[in-house]
Structure 1
Amino acid sequence: MNKSFLLILSLFMGQTTAVYAQSPQINIYSFRKYELIKPVLAQFEAESGIKVNLVNGKSKRLLARLKQDGEASQADVILSSDLAQLHNHKDLLQPIESRQTWQNVSSALYDENGYWISISMRTRALFSLSEQTSQPIPNSFAQLKQADYQSALCIRDWQHNYNATLAAALLTTDNKKDSDWLKLGNKLLAKRPSGGDRDQLRALAQGHCKLAFANHYYWHMMKRADNKRDQMLAKKLSIHFLQTEDGLTPVSTTSAAIAKHAPNKQNAELFIAFLLTQKAQEIYAQSLHEFPVLNDMMASHVPFRPNLPAIKQGLLRLADANKLLAKH
């Protein structure tokens, strides 16, 4: 077990033993699907003895509930599927105080005032059919503007936050070649956008398009799914990590924060510290197929050069990205 986490655990448990007439617990609001965080939650419960109460839901609904409940809110921790969901609602959060485990995390991955910290990374990858020989595969986003890629692409709704975050990151490079392809919009599409990321991968495997965009971990999830058909379809695909003109690959992050009126604040601090231990980060990497945020794990787990500064910079370009994508 990580030494920093052990220290925080011993301090918190020592301070709160008398307080808990009942078993210690933590209430988590998650914008992420349960299947994506189940292994991490189970490991935390096993190591800390703290019971996790999970509420899943769409970000807008849970944020509205937080605001409506006010001081009566029972939420302790917020887990986001996209950083913008937390960054734009700091009025519902409070600074995280225990930051011992942040020393091994780039400052590009957390709020300077401690309101949120990234706990895993992902990228919006491009997929192709493994046995496809006629369709050229781009290495960079700039190449998507070429005629070869028109009417070739499957992608979910252009205005989905995954696409908006990617577009915002591309706009931060100040090289128009990185984002010009987005102006082509529907000219790139082989079919009308519908469904989620896994639906795009299924459509690609079934021959409805020649290329598809999806968050990289959905492909891994399909490969080990209980659904044999999804396993078969996923095996037909290859993954590609596109670069901007400076040789970097845009990434987005999942993030954690403490609710403003958290009734179990110390447990919330402990949970976030746990998320940044090597064991928890290995779970994200091995079980969830997301990329770790710890500096000393990136080299062995991230197969490209991630554009970390664009994570925060992209927050400032989201309005521009949404305006651009709204035209499609």
Structure 2
Amino acid sequence: MRLEISFAALVASGAILASCGGSEPSGDTAVTDDAATGESRVVNVYSARHYDSDRIIYQRFTEETGIEINLVEAGGDLLIERVRADGERSPADVIVTVDAARLHRAEQAGLFQPIEDQDILGMVPRELRDPEGYWLGFTARARVIAYSTERVDPASLTGYEALAGEDWDDRLCMRSSDNAYNQSLLASRIIALGEDAAEEWANGIAANLAVPPSGGDTDQIRAIAAGTCDASFVNHYYYVRLANSDAPDDQAVANAVALYAPGQEYGGAHVNVSGVGIAAGAPHPEEARAFVRFLLSDEAQRVFAEVTNEIPARSGVTYDNPRVAEVAEWYRDPVNLGELGDHTETAVRIFDRAEWP
């Protein structure tokens, strides 16, 4: 693998890449095209993910294919904006980011080319990829209800709509409404319920907050365990990370909290993805396709499940993480995730009207 480089380094014109072995982004560097000089085969990966699992997979990809990775890391929106601003000059080969709505926005901005390899597309369920093949999810995450095992009767949890009821007044903790996962969750409610009912639901959630929204998903889980609130929406892997931890404090939190996923009678669990698309102007399209294919390999999918606690996008992959295996069996909302992006602007407006900060 080659060098991780930060978004700040992209803004400054830069120096030549140096080799690395998993250190933090180094700063004043820029992507170079080694393939053009004949020195080696490369793929320029622009990624909004910052996980140890990815570094393991990138190293194995280079070992197996001989293709070195030039890695550019930044937040999802910043990354996409940089590729858009660079236009035809962008050296990006593949764009990796989280949230289907964000992937949809990148596709709408013309940043992707279709993945025309049907073998690659066939590895991923239709609901986890763009209908036209511009991007696909390589892992999934379920956004479900975390609740106190001491203060909440799980029988009272009847779908996502339950938490908007009056009996949940002053009992909820939530992340901010500007969080992409909450926006996509509301977009899924718009698809399932219609805009008016989804807005009523958002109003109910906002009215039931025990404290102003703050922090990430792990903070919500810890707040439930501490008695600050009784329930929240979280991505499953934040809970699994605590439950699989050897730290006594993490174990205590996990034992005080459980996850509830709506069953088929309530529309199923909302899922989102980490996804990838091949850049429209990819200078190394063959290497880009090889990279996407490797993300869906048995080896990579196993690493995602065991190291990052994500659900493999491919079915039939074996891995050693019983809690993730349990989550993978939950009934999922069958909506195609490509539809979420059509409703996120409406979701943001609803959040604003609901005064959900």
CA distance, structure 2, for counterparts of residue 233 and residue 300 of structure 1: 19
Q: Percent identity?
A: 30
- How far apart are residue 106 of structure 1 and its match? 2.4
* 1:28 partnered with 2:28: no
| One-letter amino acid of the structure 2 residue matched with residue 165 of structure 1 | S
Q: What is aligned with 1:324? A: 350
Residues 45 and 228 of structure 1, relative CA distance in 2, 3 Å threshold: farther
- How far apart are residue 150 of structure 1 and its match? 1.6
* 1:123 partnered with 2:142: yes
Greater alpha carbon shift after TM alignment, 127-136 vs 141-150: 127-136
8 Å Cα contact 2:154-2:260 kept in structure 1? no
| One-letter amino acid of the structure 2 residue matched with residue 317 of structure 1 | H
* 1:208 partnered with 2:225: no
8 Å Cα contact 2:104-2:338 kept in structure 1? no
SS in 2 for 1:184: helix
SS in 2 for 1:108: helix
* 1:153 partnered with 2:179: no
CA distance, structure 2, for counterparts of residue 270 and residue 25 of structure 1: 11
- How far apart are residue 312 of structure 1 and its match? 2.6
CA distance, structure 1, for counterparts of residue 331 and residue 258 of structure 2: 19
| One-letter amino acid of the structure 2 residue matched with residue 96 of structure 1 | I
Q: What is aligned with 1:41? A: 58
| One-letter amino acid of the structure 2 residue matched with residue 104 of structure 1 | M
* 1:240 partnered with 2:260: yes
Q: What is aligned with 2:74? A: 57
CA distance, structure 1, for counterparts of residue 81 and residue 277 of structure 2: 16
Deviations 1:8-40 (A, max 9, x none): xxxxxxxxxx98842322221112223463333
- How far apart are residue 228 of structure 1 and its match? 6.0
Residues 243 and 301 of structure 1, relative CA distance in 2, 3 Å threshold: closer
- How far apart are residue 207 of structure 1 and its match? 1.7
CA distance, structure 2, for counterparts of residue 62 and residue 226 of structure 1: 35
* 1:142 partnered with 2:142: no
- How far apart are residue 160 of structure 1 and its match? 1.6
2:334 to 308, 315, 319: 308
2:285 to 265, 268, 273: 265
- How far apart are residue 152 of structure 1 and its match? 0.9
Residues 271 and 134 of structure 1, relative CA distance in 2, 3 Å threshold: closer
TM-score normalized with structure 1 length: 0.83
SS in 2 for 1:257: strand
8 Å Cα contact 1:154-1:203 kept in structure 2? yes
Number of paired residues?
A: 311
8 Å Cα contact 2:130-2:337 kept in structure 1? no
Greater alpha carbon shift after TM alignment, 259-268 vs 34-43: 34-43
TM-score normalized with structure 2 length: 0.77
CA distance, structure 2, for counterparts of residue 265 and residue 228 of structure 1: 47
Residues 155 and 183 of structure 1, relative CA distance in 2, 3 Å threshold: same
8 Å Cα contact 1:177-1:245 kept in structure 2? no
Alignment of 1:73-84 (within 5 A): 73-84=90-101
5+ residue gaps, structure 2: 1-34, 319-324
SS in 2 for 1:127: strand
SS in 2 for 1:79: strand
8 Å Cα contact 1:74-1:262 kept in structure 2? yes
Residues 38 and 64 of structure 1, relative CA distance in 2, 3 Å threshold: same
Residues 147 and 185 of structure 1, relative CA distance in 2, 3 Å threshold: closer
CA distance, structure 2, for counterparts of residue 228 and residue 30 of structure 1: 33
- How far apart are residue 155 of structure 1 and its match? 0.9
8 Å Cα contact 2:264-2:331 kept in structure 1? no
CA distance, structure 1, for counterparts of residue 246 and residue 52 of structure 2: 12
